[in-house]
Amino acid sequence: MISRQTYPFEALTPVLLYQLLALRSEVFIVEQQCIYQDLDGKDIDALHAMGFDETGQLISYARILPPGIAYPEFSIGRVIVALSHRGTGEGHRLMTYAMELIESMESKSTIRISAQAHLEKFYEAHHFEATGKTYLEDGIPHLEMIYYPKLAL
């Protein structure tokens, strides 16, 4: 069973901060062979959504940025699932959790993301739409995607 916890930066213990940075480094830098500046100054303003397995090991993570940090809208980034838990649906559960957190903070909020292009279908499953803006970021093709909430009539 996966337990989920969310922390503002100030509430991260040194152990939690180490775990999340280690997981991000393991996947985004080592596995994807991409040298980039992960510590971009945005973690301080973010909410850090984390999933832990039954042993307390961090197995999934997403960074939620409030409006005005990366985009005028809320944003979800650094979405990651440890290799050991890929293919289990954890990525979709994590994304749903992150979107529900945003909804709880600001009902009917638009969310804009920078998605690795090969994950377009993953984000489309969460009703994100490509904006048509594609670009290389750290040598990896990305596309901008946006989620428009269903507005009550």
Could you tell me the residue range of the domain that residue 80 belongs to? 3-147
Tell whether 110 is covered by a domain: yes
Domain tally, the chain: 1
**Is 99 contained in some domain?**
yes
**pLDDT tier at 152, thresholds 50, 70, 90:** very low
Q: 152 in a domain, yes or no?
A: no
Judged against a pLDDT cut of 50, whether residue 153 lies above it is answered with no
CATH of the domain at 124: 3.40.630.30
Does residue 120 belong to any structural domain of this protein? yes
Q: Does a structural domain hold residue 115?
A: yes
Dihedral pair phi/psi, residue 31, rounded to 5°? -60, -45
* Residues 13-51: tens digit of each pLDDT: 999 999 999 999 999 989 888 888 889 999 999 999 999
pTM of structure: 0.92
Asked if the structure places residue 153 within a domain, the reply is no
Q: Is residue 117 one of the residues assigned to a domain?
A: yes
Question: Does residue 85 lie in a domain region?
Answer: yes
What are φ and ψ of residue 125, in 5° steps? -65, -20
pLDDT of residue 64: 98
Confidence bin at 110 (pLDDT 50/70/90): very high
Asked whether residue 91 carries a pLDDT value surpassing 60, the answer given is yes
CA distances from residue 28 to 59, 126, 130, 137 in whole angstroms, order as listed: 14, 22, 22, 12
| The pLDDT value given to residue 42 | 97
